Amino acid sequence: MMNLKDQDIVEEDNLTFRIKDNVLIGKEVPIRDECTNVGALVLEKLRSKPEFIAQVEAVNGTKTTFAEMTEKSVKCALWLREQAVQPGDIIGICTHNHLESYVPLLAALYVGAISNPWDNELSPTTARFFLSLTRPKIVFANVNSIECLARIIEEDHLDIKLVVFGELAGFEGASLTRVLHSQNMAKIDEFECSKLTTPNQIATIVCSSGTSGFPKGTEISHASMINYMTHVKIHDLRGHVSMWTPSMRWYCGLFIVIKAILDCSKRIIVPDYDDDDELCHFIEKYEVSWFRCDSCFPIRLVKFGVLSRYRLPTLKILLFGGAHFRRELQQTLVKLLPHTNVILSYGMTDYGGLCARQTKYSKPGSCGFVCETGRLKVVDPNTGRILEANKTGEIWAKSSYMMNGYYNNPEATKNAIDSDGWLHTGDLGYYDDDGEIFLIDRISEFINYRAIKISPAEIEALIQQHPAVLEVAVVAVSHDIEEEHAMAFVAKISGKEATELDITDLVEQNMPWYCRLHAGVKFMQRLPRTATGKIAKKELKQIAKNYTTN
């Protein structure tokens, strides 16, 4: 490709963008700012094709039609109104993906309430955190979390109603089954969604990833959702049989539930576990053509040789997030899936979705090009100067579908979004001469060693190349004299061997002296993860601290 110059217009596989004054500018289209309830759009679509098969439970083949989804979601909305739920009230949702997980999400949208999805398995600490963060009026929860929530609500004397999905013996609260049975079928056809008072009315509060600490609640408006659905074409599911692993705790998991309905895409609902063979089996069995997952799944496909047992000829798009995906892994994946467009993307909840994604022209391992209506620039974190191509700095971003801000946290909002509307992502990266974006690491994750800043991601990328390594995370450990030392946590592939010396030698022989793993290597069967699938570095830092103090 030719190097880009100021004002050049480039169309990359339907991603049109230009560069002006060192700002990457995505396709510019009219921004939608009408006062439209996303729930009203969904209900209109559900009512328009009652016989359409919208959901299939992958294990047992149970199907759900639009007519059934209309009945259940409207009945739930009628019940919410009976509970005096008003526009702006918050409805917590704590569940895995299943045939009824959509019900409270759509019902909340219909009545103008705010959905607030959480981790689908809660500890007492996280349960108390989520309950205190948004103070929901009602929480719908699966059987794995309902008793924990009930205990915290009782201990803290909270006025919050609980509803369990299905039925649970011994649970004295409401159940979704009984909620739905309590409503009159005659009221369904005459039901109307609540009107919005402003396009920026909050539709959902989705928690940020919480990789290095407790998450913040990001406010996503109805207008944000509509602009994202309208303009970012990689989520066009029309004609696709779709499948995804993220639960509604991820914004992408919540968003695709809505988008699949609006695009009349049959959704295959998969169990909440990491069985790669089973997932590939479901893709083949149900002829899935669009699949969204986190970056761990494609890594395992390559490392475990899973694709030697499956062809996946119907899979047209494999979309996954994760800023640090090795070039060699993606090249191997492309060879193993010759019929599939393997797309790495870069996004965040705070931004309201994807900032960038790859096209057929992308370099393996990059994050691709700026998405539609988006703007990205690279800024020197010390001086604030906008940097040109191939210069590393903090990525700032803005779009038509960004969050309103952080719920009940104006200080954090002010720190994240400046007066000109730019989101300071906290990600370090650069764009090359072709306008393609590459991420290096989170600024907050850098290790300070003798006043030298070390990127854990660079060390992780090297260790990941070891044939016995499935996944790796490098974190900082405090040191009295040299500020911080690097410690690596490694999960090995079953049946393959690597020692601590193997890993430390690999780093010592291939990286500068200051990148050495002075705090050592610790092996784990599996690295801990956040609810959004990212490696939980906060937890690993605490484990590392325990190693060094014991």
**Mean pLDDT value across residues 301-321:** 92
Taking only the tens place, the pLDDT of each residue in 186-215 is 999 999 999 999 999 999 999 886 555 578
Q: What is the largest CA-CA distance in the chain?
A: 74
Taking only the tens place, the pLDDT of each residue in 244-266 is 998 998 899 999 999 999 999 99
In the three-class reduction of DSSP (H, G, I as helix; E, B as strand; rest coil), residue 172 is classed as coil
- Cβ neighbourhood burial of 112 (10 Å; 0-12, 13-18, 19+): buried
Is 418 within 8 Å of 424 (Cβ atoms)? yes
Tell me phi and psi for residue 105, to 5 degrees. Answer: -60, -55
| Residue 461: how many other CB atoms lie within 10 Å | 18
pLDDT value of residue 443: 86
Taking only the tens place, the pLDDT of each residue in 135-162 is 999 999 999 899 999 999 999 999 999 9
- Checking if the pLDDT of 73 tops 70, the result is yes
Looking only at the bridges linking them, the beta strands covering 369-370 and 353-357 are: antiparallel
The H-or-E segment that residue 162 falls in is strand 161-164
Task: Write the CB contacts of 172 (distance below 8 Å, at least 6 apart in sequence).
Answer: none
Buried b / exposed e over 148-178, threshold 16 CB at 10 Å, is bbbebbeeeeeebebbbbeeeeeeebbbbee
Picking from 243, 252, 297, the residue whose alpha carbon sits closest to that of residue 274 is 297
Picking from 325, 333, 327, the residue whose alpha carbon sits closest to that of residue 304 is 333
pLDDT value of residue 210: 55
Q: How far is the CA of 179 from the CAs of 84, 138, 164, 227, in angstroms? A: 15, 13, 10, 33
Place of tokens 């030697």: 308
Picking from 337, 313, 327, the residue whose alpha carbon sits closest to that of residue 366 is 327
Taking only the tens place, the pLDDT of each residue in 209-253 is 655 557 899 999 999 999 999 999 999 999 999 999 989 988 999
- Checking if the pLDDT of 124 tops 60, the result is yes
- Checking if the pLDDT of 179 tops 80, the result is yes
pLDDT value of residue 457: 87
As a whole number of angstroms, the distance between CA 17 and CA 28 comes to 8
As a whole number of angstroms, the distance between CA 427 and CA 384 comes to 14
As beta bridge partners, residue 395 has: 378
pTM of the shown model: 0.87
Place of tokens 């906008």: 386
Task: Show the 3-state SS of 56-112.
Answer: EECCCCCEEEHHHHHHHHHHHHHHHHHCCCCCCCEEEEECCCCCCCHHHHHHHHHCC
pLDDT value of residue 7: 47
As beta bridge partners, residue 111 has: none
| Residue 376: how many other CB atoms lie within 10 Å | 29
Pull the structure tokens for residue 272. Answer: 């909440």
